[in-house]
Amino acid sequence: MPIPEQRDLDKARGVIRDWLAGKLPDARDLTISTLVGPAFTGFSNETLLFDASWHEGGEARSAGYVIRVKPTAHTIFLEADFDSQYKVIKALSEHTDVPLPPVHWFEDDESVLGAPFFVMGKVEGHVPSDNPPYTQTGWLLEEATPAVRARVVDSGLDALTQIHRTDWRALGLDFLDKPQYGAPGIDQQIAYYERSFEWAAQGRPQPIAEAALDWVKANKPTGAQHIALAWGDARINNQMFDDAGNVLAVFDWEMVTLADPMMDLAWWLFLDRHFHEGMPAPDSQGEAYGTGPPGLPRLEGFPTREQMVARYEEMTGWQPHDLEFYEVFAGLRFAVVMMRIAALVVEFELLPSETDMDRNNIVTRLLAAKLGLPAPGPEPLPAV
């Protein structure tokens, strides 16, 4: 369920062409292709892709670019932290081996596209889709062999460990700390998502998420924490792979923060459950979304939960801990995101205002099952 188009792309194409000409002063006969969005895009960002061609020094040149525009009217997260995302991506791309697209320019002049934006190089490869889910259609299901699928998950986890092993202090990423929410670590994360919950719920009852928040506050880990650079939205849907299943690039840094890396590992595990256990099987007519009971067979070749945790430990040398807590916390965090997505779905008039999508969705149903609570309502169709 992507964002409805919010701008005149033909007009924006001319604006971007003129802006890019200023960044490539030696370019002659510069042209750019039609602007498009990525396949299966979501709600959190406006993303524009295009190719540029020009002559420089008597030679023909070309390049592909991706523009990420800061969200303004339609926001998923309490704090966009758009500048921080760019700084993190640029630091990682220039000083680490974390697989990232080339990072080119940041533009803070809002008169160009109506909001700040940054530009990266385009990378070609396979991205397991959110919608329709990769467990129901697409390259990973229909073309990849079991061995390639196994490599996708292992390679994706390896990239995650690269992020966690980054020396974030040496890279000057301490600006990610949010002291207004408490000390770095789980106290800060719980306080931030409690505030996000209040903002996203808009006063509507959220019984499953409320129960999860109470549980998280009552069961937070008390042991020592390892504060690391946490990607935030750790899942294979936010990674691009080559034909052999190797990670080419890591995307979507809206949730980047400083936290115990178990927060990312548990998010990875919860999202794996989301796309396997939470999705209803296709119906007899072959529709992408079925209406039967949830739960798809695990894709052949996909490592189990235990194997993924073992892979993470092997790559980091760290003993995973408190994963039960962090998986419930992942469900809570995702439930908050779903509240905002539901609000935007209503705002875009894709669903009526009386929808219960904000509290009855795949995420809250998985979260209810994990907490031993009744399901929040009748089986919903997937929304993400």
Mean pLDDT, 10 residues at a time, over the chain (384 residues)?
A: 67 96 96 82 76 96 96 83 95 97 96 96 95 91 97 98 98 97 96 97 96 98 94 97 98 96 98 88 45 70 97 97 98 97 88 92 95 85 49
Tell the residue number behind the tokens 């129901």, with chain if given. Answer: 136
Q: Tell whether 225 and 354 lie within a shared domain.
A: yes
CATH number at residue 33: 3.30.200.20
Residue 2 lies in a domain: no
Residue at which a domain ends, from 121, 152, 170? 121
Residue 128 lies in a domain: no
Residue 1 lies in a domain: no
pTM for this model (two decimals):
0.93
Tell the residue number behind the tokens 């932290």, with chain if given. Answer: 81
Q: Tell whether 177 and 113 lie within a shared domain.
A: no
Q: What is the pLDDT of residues 218-267, one digit of tens each?
A: 999 998 899 999 999 999 999 999 999 999 999 999 999 999 999 999 99
Q: Tell whether 176 and 256 lie within a shared domain.
A: yes
Residue 14 lies in a domain: yes
Q: What pLDDT, on the 0 to 100 scale, is given for residue 56?
A: 95
Range 366-371, long-range pairs (CB < 8 A, 24+ positions): 366/270, 366/273, 366/274, 366/277, 366/278, 366/331, 367/208, 367/209, 367/212, 367/328, 367/331, 367/332, 367/334, 367/335, 368/208, 370/327, 370/328, 370/331, 371/208, 371/211, 371/212, 371/215, 371/328
Q: Tell whether 155 and 114 lie within a shared domain.
A: no
Q: What pLDDT, on the 0 to 100 scale, is given for residue 1?
A: 46
Residue 184 lies in a domain: yes
Tell the residue number behind the tokens 């006969």, with chain if given. Answer: 29
Q: Tell whether 199 and 287 lie within a shared domain.
A: yes
Q: What pLDDT, on the 0 to 100 scale, is given for residue 381?
A: 52
> What percentage of the chain reaches a pLDDT higher than 70?
91
Q: Tell whether 174 and 286 lie within a shared domain.
A: yes
Residue 324 lies in a domain: yes
Q: Tell whether 114 and 181 lie within a shared domain.
A: no
Q: Tell whether 297 and 337 lie within a shared domain.
A: yes
CATH number at residue 363: 3.90.1200.10
Q: What is the pLDDT of residues 58-107, one digit of tens each?
A: 999 999 999 999 987 778 999 878 999 999 999 999 999 999 999 999 99
Q: What pLDDT, on the 0 to 100 scale, is given for residue 44?
A: 63
Total count of domains within the chain: 2
Q: What pLDDT, on the 0 to 100 scale, is given for residue 79?
A: 86
* Domain membership of residue 87 as a residue range: 9-121
Q: What pLDDT, on the 0 to 100 scale, is given for residue 40?
A: 47
Distance from C-alpha of 247 to C-alpha of 34, rounded to nearest angstrom: 27
Q: Tell whether 99 and 163 lie within a shared domain.
A: no
Q: Tell whether 117 and 143 lie within a shared domain.
A: no
Q: Tell whether 51 and 198 lie within a shared domain.
A: no
Residue at which a domain ends, from 88, 121, 154? 121
Q: Tell whether 145 and 112 lie within a shared domain.
A: no
